[in-house]
Structure 1
């Protein structure tokens, strides 16, 4: 009977020795041999909003918009144009087409620059949350809105934005003008 007891005792001592030996091995962590506690860190990366240029303002009376002939603006918007003014932006100024009564009937803005700014300009004109999405012409994306006061059609592609506002409540008129501008400028 002693043998099983001695054998059992020796096996127990060996198991304790192996267990204790495992405890003596420090885990990676501090230089003093202490165990490092696992750390959890949450990182939220947000892209800052792009700095948008101010809304364009008419600055000078001109004979014609450099990228939209007056006759084409009249045809697309269905109203006569008495005067055209442009803003000071380069290379493409914003064009303001006026009715005979002195009210703006059509505005065309072309922006070229940083892609996030182009997208921001489109979202300012036709906010993603409230506008109807569009992908016309092919390769362009943005939105359009229409109500009794007029319509806006705004699209961007890479670093270019085209925004057209009209006093007409049919957004198709603004879309037609935007498509004409894109074709004329070869954008």
Structure 2
């Protein structure tokens, strides 16, 4: 049996406060549906839902200049994991971890590695941009990381985040396991 609502109790006061707060943002028409002078107000009621704004994501990384090697993924490891020779390595201008672009002998990019450190919602947004939740396969590898992967004829992507860090690897190979191997190597090398 339900107890009657009592204003003198803490529960009653808390209930009254919650009800008042819930009604505070509502548009409630005047009794009788008019503006107080007998004419219709014509003001429709509406419900407003407030959501958090999407995080401002940094632009997609772009290669800036040719370097001897990626600072966190040796060229030999990139060749081994992706199964192709590397003719050139370029990096972006981001700090502290630039994005690394590994090129094939024909001048096409075969592998990219992006590492972001910053706000957790931005890290998650970068992962979702690379491997959208609605279309990618979920992953939680390595342990403590989460994200998604996609693969197809044009290549594969493996993107994971943990707190404020995101690691995104793209490859021209259709097997996502190659991108996952590189992501795991990068995370281990940087101690993330």
TM-score category, normalised to shorter length = 0.7 to 0.9
| Per-residue Cα deviation, 1:78-133 (whole angstroms, up to 9, x for no partner) | 00000000000000000000000100000000000000000000000000000000
In 2, distance between residues paired with 1:59 and 1:88?
Answer: 6
Find the partner of 1:45 among 42, 50, 60. Answer: 50
Aligned: 1:128 with 2:128: no
In 2, distance between residues paired with 1:158 and 1:46?
Answer: 21
SS in 1 for 2:151: strand
SS in 1 for 2:183: helix
Q: Displacement, 1:156?
A: 0.3
Q: Displacement, 1:39?
A: 4.2
Q: Which residue pairs with 2:76 in the alignment? A: 71
Q: How does 1:4-23 map to 2 (within 5 A)?
A: none
- TM-score w.r.t. the length of structure 1 is 0.78
| Per-residue Cα deviation, 1:29-85 (whole angstroms, up to 9, x for no partner) | xxxxxxxxx946366331100000000000010000000000000000000000000
Please, what is the CA RMSD of the aligned residues? 1.3
Q: How does 1:19-168 map to 2 (within 5 A)?
A: 39=23, 41=26, 44-168=49-173
What runs of 5+ residues in structure 1 fail to find an aligned partner?
1-37
In 2, distance between residues paired with 1:78 and 1:39?
Answer: 63
